[in-house]
Amino acid sequence: MNPTDAEAICRLSATQTAALIRSRELSPVEVTDAVLDRIDAVDGELGAFCTPTPDLARATARRIADDIAAGRDTGPLAGVPLGVKDLISSKGIRTTSGSHAYADFVPDEDDIVVERSVAAGAVVLGKTNATEFGYSATGHNPLFPVTRNPWDLDRTPGGSSAGSAAAVAAGLGPVALGSDGGGSVRVPAALCGIFGFKASMGRVPVYPGCRDERYPGVSGWESVEHIGPLTRTVADAALMLSVLAGPDPRDRHSIPCADVDWTRRRPTGPLRIAYSPDLGRVAVDPEVRRVADEAARVFEKDLGAEVDRIDLQLPDYSAAFGAIVAAETDLTGMRAMADRLGPAMSPHLATLVRTPWTAEQFTDANLVRKAVVNRVARLMSTYDLILTPTTSVAAFPVGVQGPELIDGRMVPTDHWTSFTPLANLTGQPAASLPAGRTRGGLPVGVQLIGRHLADGALLDACAAYEEAAPWRDAWPTAV
């Protein structure tokens, strides 16, 4: 592959891009121009970026090129193009959270993750589309055109980090930032055929975002929210973690972090994996189950892991998760916003914020959460990893919240995302790995959940799977 060819540049990983720029085989300007040209060519139909910033990106690339020429330190992400989810604050760049309430909002400060990425040399391409305040796992909001799946433009990319996933999958930058309060990094990663990673709670600090009380809608998800990368390789996620991880006093959940080289592979040793294809209760499409079963086989037969198919025997946490999210939402502010916006707010969000809640529901939800956390902690004393499908189905048509029928069962329209909130409730690290495709050619992902704070071990297991069942040469054909 000629790395100076524009298409080849757009297919480079972040790790490759950074290495070629450091060696001066590529310039940051060449890389930025190639990616911006591809955005111009395909994003009109894809809808990944809601606020592109080409002038800023080119100016940043030129500055980094000058720094390299002068021999100055430019950081581990020098010249790497980066998309930033529209729920994540970026100083001087419109950040709407997918809502008419913030249609013209321009933050005066960066989120910590943007601050660290830019300091490490990343070139911000713009803001990627997201659902309104992240309260949906699809790709549409009332403010911008719908984001579509690059594998099939009539289907959803998943969400709420819809634009970030679609962009990375389509070659509109090798990495993008997403937020994950219940699976919003992992779900779209699965539907778009890329890698999505959320670290242990507190490993990557968050501020302002859900930690800042000033912004109704944005300030929810306090105890479950994470920010993580969407990438095409595990190595790129490890590279991003090396930039993003570490405590910050602005986030009370952030944790001390030893000086760890997250990009260094560690011997995995024999793994013990608890495989649950349905959590004992979730309706799963047979095509998804087939791919998940094959992933379990790869771990067992190709990687020598001990894989036990288990019934997790967890309480149904779906209602509890909804109550916890509601309890951490500024319902007064959101209800006033719903009254003010009227039909300009997403109907499902307006319904959610107007739902009456009781103190008993919030108390019961916390009891369910404790039961889930304790049950999983006991399980992780025996197993290194939990393996599940990431979602119950592959990508479905745009315009709906989810299928109402899965494997012959009538289900709520959010049922298809039942697997991912588990790791948000427990705070464990979790990833979605591309594991195969349906017979119709749509990507299917599997979820790996690691032990609490064992982020490196989880990344190592993901990297081992990537080597055994490589996916990076599978590119979408719809764009």
Residue 147 corresponds to which tokens in the numbers above?
Answer: 């984001």
* Orientation angle between helical segments 28-46 and 162-169, nearest 10 degrees: 120
Q: Computed over its alpha carbons, how large is the radius of gyration of the chain?
A: 21
Residue 115 corresponds to which tokens in the numbers above?
Answer: 């601050």
Closest CA to 191 of 386, 398, 390: 390
Mark whether 184 is an active-site residue. yes
Residue type (1 letter), 450:
G
Collapsing DSSP states into helix, strand and coil, what is residue 176? strand
**CA 137/CA 157 separation, integer angstroms:** 9
Q: Are β-strands 123-128 and 430-437 bridged in parallel, bridged antiparallel, or unpaired? A: unpaired
Out of 90, 136, 160, 418, which one is annotated catalytic? Answer: 160
**CA 211/CA 220 separation, integer angstroms:** 8
**CA 176/CA 161 separation, integer angstroms:** 9
Out of 85, 97, 179, 392, which one is annotated catalytic? Answer: 85
Residue type (1 letter), 421:
P
Contact 435, 445 (CB under 8 A): yes
**CA 186/CA 189 separation, integer angstroms:** 5
Contact 150, 479 (CB under 8 A): yes
Mark whether 160 is an active-site residue. yes
Out of 184, 200, 219, 346, which one is annotated catalytic? Answer: 184
DSSP structure class, residue 207: -
Residue 345 corresponds to which tokens in the numbers above?
Answer: 């707010």
Catalytic residues: 85, 160, 184
